[in-house]
Amino acid sequence: MNLDISGTPGTLTGSGRVALVLEYNGAQYHGWQSQKSGHPTVQQYLEIALSRVANCSVEVVCAGRTDAGVHASHQVVHFNTDVTRSQRSWVMGANANLPADISVHWVGNVTENFHARFSARSRRYRYVIYNHPIRAALFREGLTWNYRPLDEHKMARAAQHLVGRHDFSSYRAAGCQAKSPVREIEFLNVERFGDFIIIDVQANAFLHHMVRNIAGVLMSIGAGLNEESWSKDVLLAKDRAAGGITAPPFGLYLINVGYPCGEIPEFDPGPSFVKPYYFNSARS
C-alpha cells in the first residue's frame, strides 16, 4: 500500500497519538537510537524533521531499534502531539526536512493504547546476500557479498532447526541486554534468485544481532564449512562462542512489523529492489 496524497488532506486531530511508517538506508548512520556521542542516527534526524513540521519538540518511539549499517523498508514509530496537521503535511513536510536516505511513507492517527514497540506482535527481516566471485560495486552498502558458492538448499534445511520457540543464547550478541534469550521464530526461509540469496525471517521479537548471527551460521553451512546440523548444535549449546562470526549489517532490512489492531496499513515487503523476484516467483 502506498500513501495517496493527491486526494483529501485527511486532517489529523490534535492532542492525539500519531503513527508513522518510514524507510531508510542505514549505511551512514550509527543505528536507529539517538546517542549522547553525537554520532548521526535515524531517530535524531526524524525527530528534527517532525519537530519542524509541528513547530514544537517531537519525540518518537520505534518498533525495533536497528544497528549501525542496518536498513529498514518498514519501520514503525509513534509520537504524541497537540498540533493539528494534515496527512499530506506530515509526510511531505517531514520528507522535505529529512536527508535523502530517510523517507516517510505513511502517517495516521492511532488510539492512545497503540505503542509502536509493545503493541507489535511480530517483526520480519530480510537478509540479502550477493553470491558471486566478484564483489558488487553497485548497491554495495545494501548487500552482503559472499564470494564462496553457497548451497541455498542446505541453508534452507539448516534454517528449519531454528523455527519455533527456543533459547537463542548462541545467536545473540555477547552484550545483549534482553532479560530473556527465548524467542519464537514463525518462519525462516532461504531462496535464491540468480546471484541473490535472500534469508526471510519472522519472529515475535529478535535479540541483539540475532538475525546477523543466524545469517553467519547459514552462510557457513551453505559454503560447506559446516554440516546442516550445525545450526541445531549451535542452538543447543546456548553459548555465543559456539556460533561463529556475526554477518555484516549491510544486507539486513527490517521489512515489516505486525500489529493485531490493524491500525497500521499493510505494505508489500521490501526492500524495493527484491520485490520483482518475489512477484515473478509467485506468478510462476
Crossing angle between the packed helical segments 230-237 and 210-222, to the nearest 10 degrees: 150
Question: Among residues 4, 67, 195, 268, which one is catalytic?
Answer: 67
- Write the CB contacts of 152 (distance below 8 Å, at least 6 apart in sequence): 190, 191, 192, 197, 222
Rg (alpha carbons) of the chain, rounded to whole number: 19
Amino acid letter at 84? T
**DSSP tag of 232:** H
Peptide bond into 271 cis (omega under 30): yes
- Beta carbons of 128 and 143 less than 8 angstroms apart: yes
67 among known catalytic residues: yes
Residue 2 grid cell: 502506498
The Cβ of residue 255 has, within 10 Å, a number of other Cβ atoms equal to 24
The residues assigned a catalytic role are: 67
